[in-house]
Amino acid sequence: MSVPAVKHDVRRGAGLIGPLATATALLLMIAVPFVVGGYWLRILTNIYMYAVIAQGLNVIVGFAGYHAFGNAVFFGIGAYTAGVAITLGAPVWMAFILAVLVSVVAAAALGWPLLRLKGHYFAIATVALNMAMIDLIINIGGVTGGAQGLPLPLESLSPTDLNRLIYFLMLGAMVASVLIVLWLDTAPLGYALRALRDSEIGAEVMGIDTTLAKTLAWTISAAMTGGVGGIWGYWINFIEPGSAFDINLSVNGYVMMLVGGMGTVIGPVIGAFFLEIFSTIIWGQFIKIHLLILGLLIIAVVMLMPEGLLFYAQRLIRPRRRTP
């Protein structure tokens, strides 16, 4: 797991190219909605959404080393919080804030028992949590709409304006998530997390409050995931348990993080672009074997390039820097 060390090389080596490329990419992304139509706008919006989910996973998996397989539970929590808030008459912006807050509170409350679990146990406990939430929503019913789903009131904006609004919201969320990870990369918390990822006992010996650090990591992760969950709920306008807590959200995000490079700042975003564009262009032709290809892709990534695209791209550019 020497990924983070390598990433520093990239930023140092990139010099001016990095910021310039980032600025160009951002300008392009801002200009896009005024150029392309509904279909590609929708795909890009989806990519940004997944980039945030992958980035959220990056914080808890890539930095802290806790494999939260069911992290999409916060996506659902965010979506339902925003959805319920909007149906109860809250303004949309407040619904998004609530989505983030409730996700954070849920992560802090659940983190206490769950983050005591190590390795595999934690991974599966989060999956179980995700599955249980679906049942819980179905069974509470009431304001959540239960199994029938939760229709949101129709928005007065025109579809074009609404799609643009969602596009910018998701883009903003993605930029925010990258900035947070960029900060985390050099912040004391980031170092604490990487230390506890490599050795939890070692980190404790060095005086790191590991419980606090990993709970913070999970709340950050939850805030990101819950935030886009809220935006997604507003976008999709009809929330149902199966799609809000879809385990595939976690799986896709996880694969994207892995493909891009976990523990890096920009890897998850690259992974999201790579996988979503790949899926749109290629899988669109093979609906019936969609999961088969995804499964084979996961197997191929794990077997052939477990360190992620970013790592191998660097190796191509500067082979001598690599320490095997």
Partner 1 sequence: MLGQTIINGLLLGGLYAISAIGFSMVWGVMGIINMAHGSLIMVGAYVSYFAFSSLGIDPFLSLPLSMALLFVFGYGIQRILLNRLMRTSLLLSLVLTFGLDLVLANIAQLIFSADLRSVNTFYTSCSFAVGPLLIPYVRLAVFLLALVLAGGFYAFLNRTKAGQAILATALDKETARLMGIDPLQVYALTAGAGAALAGAAGSLASMLFPISPSMGLSFIGSVFVITVLGGIGSIEGAVLAGLVYGLIQSFAASLFGVNYQEIVAFVIFLVILVLRPQGLLGKRFYGEAA
**By the criterion CB under 8 A, which residues form the site for partner 1?**
1, 67, 69, 113-114, 116-117, 119-121, 123-125, 127-129, 131-132, 135-136, 138-139, 251, 254-255, 258, 288-292, 294-299, 302-303, 306
Question: What does residue 118 show for φ and ψ, rounded to 5 degrees?
Answer: -105, 155
Shorter beta-carbon distance to partner 1: residue 117 or 236: 117
Q: Quickly count: other Cβ atoms within 10 Å of residue 56's Cβ.
A: 33
**Which of 231, 215, 224 is closest to 183 using CA atoms?**
224
CB of 241 to partner 1, least distance (A): 12
Shorter beta-carbon distance to partner 1: residue 42 or 67: 67
Burial class (CB in 10 A: 0-12, 13-18, 19+), 67: middle
* Residue 52 and residue 177 in contact, taking contact as beta carbons nearer than 8 Å: yes
CB of 272 to partner 1, least distance (A): 17
CB of 184 to partner 1, least distance (A): 21
> Angle CA(284)–CA(291)–CA(293) in degrees, nearest 5?
75
CB of 238 to partner 1, least distance (A): 22
Shorter beta-carbon distance to partner 1: residue 177 or 250: 250
Shorter beta-carbon distance to partner 1: residue 120 or 318: 120
CB of 77 to partner 1, least distance (A): 16
CB of 79 to partner 1, least distance (A): 20
Shorter beta-carbon distance to partner 1: residue 18 or 146: 146
CB of 298 to partner 1, least distance (A): 3
Shorter beta-carbon distance to partner 1: residue 125 or 196: 125
Shorter beta-carbon distance to partner 1: residue 220 or 258: 258
Shorter beta-carbon distance to partner 1: residue 98 or 217: 217
Alpha helices in 15-155 (DSSP H): 17-31, 38-57, 73-87, 92-114, 119-140
Distance CA 252, CA 146 (A): 26
Tokens 């990095």 label which residue?
18
* CA 117, chain centre distance (Å): 22
Residues near 210 by beta carbon (within 8 Å), at least 6 away in sequence: 192, 196, 200, 203, 204
The DSSP H or E segment spanning 169 is helix 159-186
Q: Check residue 32 and report its DSSP letter.
A: G
* Residue 110 and residue 104 in contact, taking contact as beta carbons nearer than 8 Å: no
CB of 135 to partner 1, least distance (A): 5
